[in-house]
């Protein structure tokens, strides 16, 4: 294992800022479970930049052969400086963000006869966003697209909740969901929007090519987007008992119904 | 508003310990959203013990008339001493745990022709447990029953994730899930167990009286319980892409399929 230079430590610590993460196309995975899950994905071979590990953790965690040259000995203080969590369990991974060309993804789904895309408009809790990514990976969703107001895909809390699924599907950050929606509708997608005034989703027979949009935890989907919906859908429930479902649970139920 | 005595502050601070919470049949709700959601439930009328509020928060939060005699002025330091979160947003509620007689609940579901019970065996993340309670409330589930190894219903993180639904359904802590399961089977329940080796849940037609059990995040349901299952079920997915679904999402999908 190499030792961690001060310059590297400084550089990695700056990855706590979203701007810097995006400029460098990197993200930080904190803790044993998260690092282990990401390393299991074949894409990590090319995309692990550095594995930072304390001597205590190195005693029990066996670094896979192919990653040894990218491993650095770090102190607990080093890790605390780089991490969002106060207790990163002696291990942190620095990974490359998957480069996703939106035009490429859109062209690819345009040629398909069956596809499912999940869109997030303003989901603010990074844990929810990570859980939606994890669920989308499980159901083999073709792509996820999120408005600018949605929590960062590469926030440490998102990374943790995604449980190693960040390389499993194309994640697209949209500067205009309305424009992207129009493009996808032209290539045959039916746009389903989750909304309180929607119809009971159990009565809906999903189109072969579906785009399902989930809105903000409190306010739902923005009005201009909702207006473009082909079908508004909702998950029936008892609003006297509780105000709403958790957004990641709602997204999970919808994905389970729309996934082929 | 009354002032908060030192004795009361000490008493409330001890509610961070599970033992003390259970002995006193109380729990702590931290933060504006959680307190507000709980106060909306009619049961809070009889079950709010104390509302602790800083002068800053009291300027914007209007205390409902019926709760004014139970409201106390607290400092930020008071709240930090009582809370699990470091930033309780100037408001904390102390509530009574709903008293649930297991025999009464079992007798009630025994007489029903249709019912759905959710059982948790060893779910360890309090956020997941709270989210499952919230989802169960949404779908009007008849009762939830949890093994001793499952996270506390009244952990502050559970309370937060439950989003005001803690009074919406009977929550039962079981000392022997195996015994309780046997009792419920005798009164006509079919026992569905979530397990990797189960059948695709989409092919299952739920029985009129169903008990659906979800296991531990990593290890699933204990072998002795799994052996008693009438039907093992799973949510089909891509295990190459991600190891598993989040437990609360999996529970949500199953509840959406089994709820009538």
Q: List the single residue in B138, B243, B244 with the smallest CB-CB distance to A241.
A: B138
Shared domain check, A106 and A91? no
Q: In chain A, which residues have their Cβ closer than 8 Å to the Cβ of B161?
A: 246
CB B121 within 8 A of CB B216: yes
Shortest alpha-carbon distance between residue B187 and chain A (Å)? 26
Boundary of a domain, candidates A96, A119, A145: A96
Do A168 and B131 make contact, defined as CB atoms within 8 angstroms? no
Give the model confidence (pLDDT) of B33-79 as tens digits.
999 999 999 999 899 999 999 999 999 988 888 999 999 999 999 99
Which phi and psi angles does A125 have, rounded to 5°? Answer: -85, 120
The CATH number covering residue A27 comes to 3.30.1330.30
Shared domain check, A162 and A69? no
Strand order through the sheet with B231-234: B171-173, B143-146, B115-121, B209-215, B190-200, B231-234
ipTM of predicted complex? 0.94
Q: In chain B, which residues have their Cβ closer than 8 Å to the Cβ of A165?
A: 241-242
Do B161 and A238 make contact, defined as CB atoms within 8 angstroms? no
Q: In chain B, which residues have their Cβ closer than 8 Å to the Cβ of A40?
A: 243
Shared domain check, A218 and A129? yes
Shared domain check, B124 and B44? no
Which phi and psi angles does A214 have, rounded to 5°? Answer: -115, 140
Shared domain check, B241 and B185? yes
Do A163 and B243 make contact, defined as CB atoms within 8 angstroms? yes
Q: List the single residue in A37, A253, A256 with the smallest CB-CB distance to B243.
A: A37
The CATH number covering residue B186 comes to 3.40.1280.10
- Domain extent at residue B19: 2-96
Handedness of CA A223, A225, A228, A231 (dihedral sign): negative
Q: List the single residue in B235, B243, B248 with the smallest CB-CB distance to A249.
A: B248
Distances (CA, A) of B98 to A171, B91, B168: 43, 21, 10
Shared domain check, B52 and B122? no
CB B255 within 8 A of CB A246: no
- What are B69's strand-pairing partners? none
From B30, B27, B7, select the one nearest B16 (Cα to Cα): B27
Distances (CA, A) of B1 to B4, B7, B38, B72: 9, 17, 20, 5
Give the DSSP letter string of chain A: -EEPPHHHHHHHHGGGSHHHHHHHTEEEEESHHHHHHHHHSTTHHHHEEEEEE-HHHHHHPPPPGGGGGGEEE--HHHHHHH-SSS--TTEEEEEEPPP--HHHHHHHHHT-SSEEEEEEES---HHHHHHHHHHHHHTT-SEEEEETTSPPTTSHHHHHHHTT-TTSS-EEEES-HHHHHHHHHHTT-EEEEEEEEEEEGGG----SEEEEEEEBTTTBS-HHHHTT-SEEEE----TTT-S---HHHHHHHHHHHH--
Do A246 and B161 make contact, defined as CB atoms within 8 angstroms? yes
Shared domain check, A160 and A249? yes
Structure tokens at A101: 């060309």
Q: List the single residue in B40, B169, B249 with the smallest CB-CB distance to A131.
A: B249
Shared domain check, B133 and B232? yes
From first to last of its 260 residues, chain A has per-residue pLDDT tens of 899 999 999 999 999 999 999 999 999 999 999 999 999 999 998 999 999 999 999 999 888 889 999 999 999 999 999 998 777 789 999 999 998 999 999 999 999 999 999 999 999 999 999 999 999 999 999 999 999 999 999 999 999 999 999 999 999 999 999 999 999 999 999 999 999 999 999 999 999 999 999 999 999 999 999 999 999 999 999 999 999 999 999 999 999 999 97
Structure tokens at B51: 């509302």
- Residue B1's pLDDT band, with cuts at 50, 70 and 90, is confident
Task: For chains A and B, count residue pairs whose Cβ atoms are closer than 8 Å.
Answer: 104
Give the model confidence (pLDDT) of A38-50 as tens digits.
999 999 989 999 9
Shared domain check, B118 and B148? yes
DSSP B37: H
Do B241 and A135 make contact, defined as CB atoms within 8 angstroms? no
Boundary of a domain, candidates B43, B76, B96: B96
Give the model confidence (pLDDT) of B172-230 as tens digits.
999 999 999 999 999 999 999 999 999 999 999 999 999 999 999 999 999 999 999 99
Boundary of a domain, candidates A96, A114, A140: A96
Minimum CA–CA partner of A39 in chain B: B242
Do A168 and B256 make contact, defined as CB atoms within 8 angstroms? no
Domain count for chain A, please give it.
2
CB B216 within 8 A of CB B195: no
pTM for this one? 0.95
Residues of B in CB contact (< 8 Å) with A are 37, 40, 127, 131, 134-135, 137-140, 161, 163-165, 168-169, 235, 237-238, 241-246, 248-250, 252-253, 256
Shared domain check, B47 and B158? no
Strand, helix or coil for residue B240: coil
CB A133 within 8 A of CB A151: no
Residues of A in CB contact (< 8 Å) with B are 37, 40, 127, 131, 134-135, 137-140, 161, 163-165, 168-169, 235, 237-238, 241-246, 248-250, 252-253, 256
Shared domain check, B164 and B110? yes
Burial class (CB in 10 A: 0-12, 13-18, 19+), A69: exposed
Shared domain check, A127 and A92? no
């Amino acid at each position: 294992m190499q030792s961690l230079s001060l310059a590297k430590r400084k550089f990695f610590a700056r990855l706590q800022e979203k701007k810097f993460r995006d400029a460098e196309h990197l993200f930080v995975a904190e803790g044993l479970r998260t690092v282990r899950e990401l390393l299991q994905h074949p894409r990590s071979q090319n995309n692990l930049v550095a594995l930072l590990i304390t001597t205590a953790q190195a005693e029990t965690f066996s670094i896979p052969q192919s990653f040894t040259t990218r491993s650095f000995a770090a102190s607990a203080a080093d890790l605390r400086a780089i991490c969002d969590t106060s207790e990163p369990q002696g291990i942190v991974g620095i990974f490359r963000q998957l480069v996703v060309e939106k035009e490429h993804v859109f062209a690819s789904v345009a040629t398909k006869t069956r596809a499912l895309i999940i869109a997030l408009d303003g989901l603010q809790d990074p844990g929810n966003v990570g859980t939606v990514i994890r669920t989308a990976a499980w159901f083999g969703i073709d792509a996820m697209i999120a408005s600018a107001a949605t929590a960062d895909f590469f926030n440490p809390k998102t990374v943790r909740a995604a449980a190693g699924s960040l390389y499993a599907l194309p994640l697209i950050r949209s500067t205009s969901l309305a424009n992207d929606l129009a493009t996808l509708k032209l290539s045959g997608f039916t746009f389903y929007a989750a909304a309180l005034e929607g119809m009971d989703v159990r009565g809906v027979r999903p189109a072969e090519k579906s785009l399902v949009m989930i809105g903000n935890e409190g306010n739902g989907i923005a009005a201009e987007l909702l207006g473009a919906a082909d079908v508004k859908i909702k998950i029936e429930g008892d609003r006297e008992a509780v105000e709403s479902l958790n957004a990641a649970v709602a997204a999970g139920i919808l994905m389970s119904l729309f996934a082929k």
